[in-house]
Structures are given as C-alpha cells and as structure tokens.
Amino acid sequence: SARRLLLLLGLAGLLAAMAAGTWQLGQCPMKHLKEPQPEQGSPQEQELEVTPACDNEEEEEPVVRGAPSTVSFRISTANSLLEARLEAHPGWLLVCHGHWEPSLGTLLCQQLGYLSMTQQKAVSLRDVQVSAGQQFLQVRARQEGSLEDMWQVRSSCQSGRIVALQCSECGLQAGAVRVVGGTDVSPGRWPWQVSVCQGSQHRCGGSVLAPEWILTAAHCVHSPQPGAGSPQCRCRGCRQLPAPAWLVFAGMVTHGSLRPEAGVPVRAIIAHPLYNDSSLDYDMALIRLQAPLNFSRAIRAVCLPPAPRDLLQGTPCWVSGWGHTAPGQAQVAGTLKEALVPLIGTRRCNSSCVYKGELTARMLCAGHLRGHVDACQGDSGGPLVCWDGDTWRLVGVVSWGQGCAEPNHPGVYTNVAQLLPWIHQVTQMH
C-alpha cells in the first residue's frame, strides 16, 4: 500500500510538472516557432539540402517596395529649409510658402520616414543666400490630386518667403541579439531598443518611435486562453493582456541592472485590428506609455522607412535583442546582442524549400539560408534596422520562424513599410 501510495504521489507530481511546463510554453515564448513538417525529411536529409534550388540567380523584386513619385523632398541639415527635386529637372528647388497648408508639413515628414512634424515656418528670402537663377517649387492654388500633382515650378517666389520644416528626431546612435551568433552591444549603440516586460520579466523587444510610443509585435501582447492553441503560440482564442500588466525598460543594455522602479508603466496597447494569431499576418502593436521617455545618449527614437525608397535583396540590416542565444536555451541573454542579417528576397523565402508560401505582403525575410545567425525566442517585437547612408530605419519587427538559425529557415519580420498608414493614424489619434 505504501509503495502504491508513493507511486500515485510520484505520478501526480509528474502530471503537475507537465501541466506547469505546458502552461509556461502557452504564455508565448515571444518568437513564434513552427515545428518542422513531416514531409521535410530527417535532419540528415535536410543537411544535404542546405542550398537547394531557391538559391537561384534570378533577380528578385525589391524586398521593400517604395511608392514611385515624380517629386522627392529633403530637409537641409544646415538650416532646415525644405528642398524638392522633380524628375527630368536639374538641381534641388526651394519650396515657396505661397499656398502652403500646415497639413503638408506633417505629410512630408511622414513621407520622409519621421513619425511627426515638430515645427514649420516661413523664412524670408532676405535671410537666405540664394544662388543666381534659383528656381522654386510652389503649391498650386487649387490643391487637387495626389501629393506629387500639386506642385508647379516657378522662376521666382512672389511671397518672398520659403518653407522651413523640422521633423521628429530619430535614427541617430550615441556613438557613430536573443540573437543567435550575435555579439554584445555597447551602451547607446541601439538607443531605440527597449525591453517589454510582464512585471519585471522580459517578454519581448520593442522600438522607440517617440517619447510616448513603442512599436512591438502583436503576438507579444497576446496570451492564449486556457486550452487554446499550441506551445508554438500559433493559437486560436488568444486574448490581449491588459496594459497594467506591462512595463517598458529603455536605455539599458544588461538585464542585471533592471530595477522595477525604472520601468515605465503602459497606458494603452493597440494591436493591429487585422492581426491574425494563426497566420501572424499584421503582427504589429503600438504601446503608449503613461509618461514620456527622457531622451538621452542612451534613449532615442528610430526612423521609419521613407515612402519612396526600395530595399533590395542583400541589403545589410541589423537585428538586436535579449532573446535566447542558442536553440533550446531556457533563459534570455543578460546582455543585449546584435547580429548582421541581410534581407532575403520574398520570392526566395516563399519558395518550396523555405517557407512554402506562408509569407504575406506584410512580412519579409532576413538572415542567412545557411543558418547560424538569427533572432530567437525573447527577441520578438524587436527591431530590424537598416542604414540608408544618413540614418537608421526600422524596416522590420521580429515576428516568427521555424526554429532558430536553422538552414533554409531565416527569420521572418513584420514589414514596417506596409503598415505605415496604420502607425501614423494611431499615433495621431491617441
């Protein structure tokens, strides 16, 4: 009887441990991991097919496709003057303030990859050195059609005033990942990287867009209902955890220095309304903080992708995070990691030897088909950034993948450029 009782107690303990383990897995490991499909063969067979037919030489379409435009804009770093250039028209033109509307400032800042406009004003031509033969671009009196159709070239500026524009600061490092194969990060290198925590437990990464706004993945802020879904967190019946459950930590590199009182409480979480917790389409959420972050060398915002710019396969980008640094590891990294992961063409990533058509237009791939370097659990929601020659742009949000750093299974990221209208709409409305 005693032996039978001990056996029953041991069995009960084993079941309880299994239940606890299942519950922990059910809390979403923060990068959705898919199990290999049975038809993909044994690991030995997969090893022989590390670079199959998907590694062809066919030229890929842009991974991130910009919106073509006949007019482009820039802001002078010296004096904040707005400048424009038309197709088939030489040189940059100053923008005359005549017929200017305040809403144009916001629209142009957003098109250039900034979250918002901070200041716009009219500057007298007498206060600016203008070269001989300088031409101007001016808004048409009747503003109809698209942004690129509302301009006309003028040989003079009758109002005598030109437009100066300032947008929200972003994309600058202080100096100049769960990341498998990554290296430690020095303070201030990725100042927009934050840790999104449940209480003081790291759950996901995120990116600072503005003092009050953090961008992360929608699956980060969802938790499966009891009995719903699978340990891989592709679940039906997921619910969004309430804002008071979360804290955001910014300006840190090591989790050892994490103090609960340093976390910023969350006011609201807005997941994309089309987020699908089964396919992970539209995997994006915005977090609004209860108090704005104090920007410093260690805390800064990242820029968004500019509307008209293409990004091609092979573009070098960086992923960062505190996630697991080896497949199967149980704990997140103590120090922020980073890794270089080039963009991979979507056609190649959707091919039969990689993700078999699972990528939607709201997703992109980055990494190496040979494996070894990748984002992992705990990195979800974190930034994939690319340098455009002037500033760092947030191109992707860590979303999902099959395993971590496996051959032919690179990381999949939410395509930020595809969801820019929603980002601007939410941050302006709230």
Residues 6+ away with beta carbon under 8 Å from 289: 211, 212, 213, 214, 248, 264, 265, 266, 267
Terminal CA-CA length for the chain: 66
For 112, other C-beta atoms within 10 Å of its C-beta total 22
CA distances from 136 to 66, 92, 132 (A): 26, 9, 12
Kindly provide the b/e burial profile for residues 302-314, where b requires at least 16 CB atoms within 10 angstroms of the residue's own CB. Answer: bbbbbbbbebebe
For 381, other C-beta atoms within 10 Å of its C-beta total 32
Residues 338 and 182: beta-carbon distance below 8 Å:
yes
Token duo for residue 71: 């007019």
Residues 223 and 271: beta-carbon distance below 8 Å:
no
What is the rounded CA–CA span in Å between residue 321 and residue 129?
Answer: 47
Q: Is 219 a catalytic residue?
A: yes
Q: Is 424 a catalytic residue?
A: no
Q: Is 380 a catalytic residue?
A: yes
Please pick, among 207, 320, 380, 399, the residue that the annotation labels catalytic: 380
Please pick, among 32, 219, 255, 409, the residue that the annotation labels catalytic: 219
Please pick, among 283, 320, 399, 409, the residue that the annotation labels catalytic: 283
Catalytic residues: 219, 283, 380
